[in-house]
Amino acid sequence: RILKVKGVRIARAGEFSEQAFLNDKLDLAQAEAIADLIDATSEQAARSALKSLQGEFSHKINELVDSVIYLRTYVEAAIDFPDEEIDFLADGKIEAKLNEIIAQLASVRQEAKQGTILREGMKVVIAGKPNAGKSSLLNALAGREAAIVTDIAGTTRDVLREHIHIDGMPLHIIDTAGLREASDEVEKIGIKRAWDEIEQADHVLLMIDSHESQADNFQQEWAEFLSKLPKNIPVTVIRNKVDLTGETESLVQVDHFTVIRLSAQTKVGVDLLREHLKKSMGYQSSTEGGFIARRRHLVALETAAEHLARGHIQLTQFYAGELLAEELRMVQNALSEITGQLP
């Protein structure tokens, strides 16, 4: 009957969280953590989202903001009172405090990166020639027959996706059509989609058949492929089918490439790959977990770090207190965007 009272209505989705934010009971990072807790796909992600909801991430950001405000006040006082006997800009305290904030921010950025991995996962694309064992590797990582595997080259013609976890880290594993010169129209479409996925990947696994005569010269054999890849995408070379060549599982560095020898069929060496994927993202598994973070948080933290770096240059190279104060103001603005509390 209460719903029949004039002015009473059903709350909109998320309205209680909205009201909590508008009435300063939650900041923006905490409000976002509610959705992250609901959407968590692993126990560790849920724990991390709960920590953000309880204010752990916000507390670290507020500590940074307080440090920046303190330093900014100190710098502006030095500018406003230039006739004082003590030269505050040259006494070393400002640079020491600035270096302390830079180190503090670097630590928070590292934790936020971990939190982003927990929330969004890492997109790993398996690429290579037809019949190199890409689908077998997808199945080995997934722990089930997610993809059809045959000896016929070109079996996979479309993109296959599988969502897995490695010690709490979510991975989006994507199997793609074999890369080759194709005449079949359907296969051409599959290869185009493969390239679309490769160009958006966080990590590419380049599958090579160890039986091939050019397996040792992969940089020459795959020169065109490697030249097309965006420079910021790491590539791990997978030398597959060691069960047929007599090689043992291994992980070695060849120039700036990591090369892993394994067998997707027998799963020998697959654990090496799992550990490598964790380390390549800087992921550290933890029973406690840190806070959850979003991509926008990383962008804001990166912006703050850039302004701090510029501020350090203004102080140490140009002795420009006014410009340092402005950079600190920009740092404060960037950090405040995370919690939604305008300076």
Q: Where exactly are the structural domains of the chain?
A: 55-118+291-339, 120-280
Class of domain 120-280: alpha beta
Q: Which residue, among 189, 162, 192, has the nearest Cα to 175 in the 3D structure?
A: 162
Contacts of residues 336-340 at CB distance under 8 Å and 24 or more positions apart, as own/partner, are: 336/65, 337/296, 337/300, 338/28, 338/29, 338/57, 338/58, 338/61, 338/296, 338/297, 338/300, 338/301, 339/27, 339/28, 339/29, 339/58, 339/61, 339/62, 340/21, 340/27, 340/28, 340/29, 340/31
Q: Is 55-118+291-339 assigned to CATH 3.50.30.30?
A: no
pLDDT at 304: 99
Angle CA 30–31–36, to nearest 5: 85
d(CA 210, CA 23): 62
Q: Which residue, among 230, 242, 246, 245, has the nearest Cα to 273 in the 3D structure?
A: 242
| Nearest-10 crossing angle of helices 15-22, 28-39 | 160
The phi and psi torsions of 257 (rounded to 5 degrees) equal -105, 140
Q: Coil, strand or helix: which one is 239? A: strand
pLDDT at 175: 93
Q: Is 134 exposed, middle or buried (0-12, 13-18, 19+ CB in 10 A)?
A: buried
pLDDT along the chain (343 residues), means of 10: 76 93 96 95 90 97 98 89 69 91 97 91 93 92 78 70 89 92 86 94 95 84 92 94 94 94 96 93 68 96 98 92 96 98 80
pLDDT at 319: 86
pLDDT at 281: 80
